[in-house]
Amino acid sequence: MAINKVEICGVNTAKLPILSNEKKEILFKLIEEGDLHAREEYIYGNLRLVLSVIQRFNNRGEHVDDLFQVGCIGLIKAIDNFDVTQNVKFSTYAVPMIIGEIRRYLRDNNSIRVSRSLRDTAYKALQAKERLTKQNAKEPNIQEIAAELGIPKEDVVFALDAIQDPISLFEPVYHDESDALYIMDQVSDEKSQDDIWLENISLKEAMKRLNNREKHILTLRFFAGKTQMEVADEIGISQAQVSRLEKTALKHMKKYI
């Protein structure tokens, strides 16, 4: 796939604009008021995001124009469903939407044939997942999806695995200024009880609201697994101060999660 081509689907990618955060906020307010011109400008101003995402699919043998068009569909869906009140960057929200749209396209055009019944089960599972997510405001786990469909959870796992392409969790999918967004940032694990990717993003956004000392203390306590006494020794304050700062930081973070 010629990912470095300048013109894709008639769009000169070398001249794509970069919207400032202030401009994005103004445009999105107009979009919410039904301004179609602002919507087109917002889409055009975020096409670089689509370009960044489709680069990770450059070894699939797909034509870049096709992937770009599919990625644009994901971008448009992200714009139509983005909630500005969630304190999440648009790029952070849009990346998994664009990836999902491209993966569905690749899955449906996969040369490796999956049985019709298995594919049907997978699609029903995806529909149930989307339905339960909207209903409960959180992503369901495999057991909940299986219960919704009335089938064994093993069947759900097998069906979903059959339509997925293997990828590395450490593969970067987008670089926003100095921050890289990785596949692992968009998925959950057993330790988090199948929490949805948005919760992980909300946690990161909430951490950004803290000062450097609070970030350092919470990182040592909850990511490095150190006790309050160990943290106190490391940064040179009392255990009581660590406890107070920790409680204050957690209380502050709860406002944004």
Residue 176 and residue 118: Cα distance in Å, rounded? 38
Structural Rg of the chain based on CA atoms:
21
Two tokens, residue 75: 């971008």
Residue 43 · residue 68 · CB < 8 Å: no
Predicted pLDDT at 145: 92
The whole-number pLDDT of residue 212 equals 87
Which of 90, 92, 96, 41 has the alpha carbon at shortest distance from 71? 96
- The CA distances from residue 43 to 34, 55, 74, 82, in Å, are 14, 19, 11, 13
Which residues of the chain, if any, have pLDDT below 50? 1-3, 170, 178, 188-195
Task: Calculate the alpha carbon distances from 189 to 116, 155, 183 in Å.
Answer: 29, 20, 12
Domains identified in the chain and CATH numbers? 1-110 (1.20.120.1810), 209-254 (1.10.10)
CA–CA distances in Å: residue 52 to residues 3, 49, 89, 92: 10, 5, 16, 13
**How much is the pLDDT for 150?**
92
Whole-angstrom distance, CA of residue 169 vs CA of residue 150:
31
pLDDT digits (tens, 9 = 90+) for 180-233: 555 555 554 444 444 455 566 667 777 777 888 888 888 888 778 888 888 888
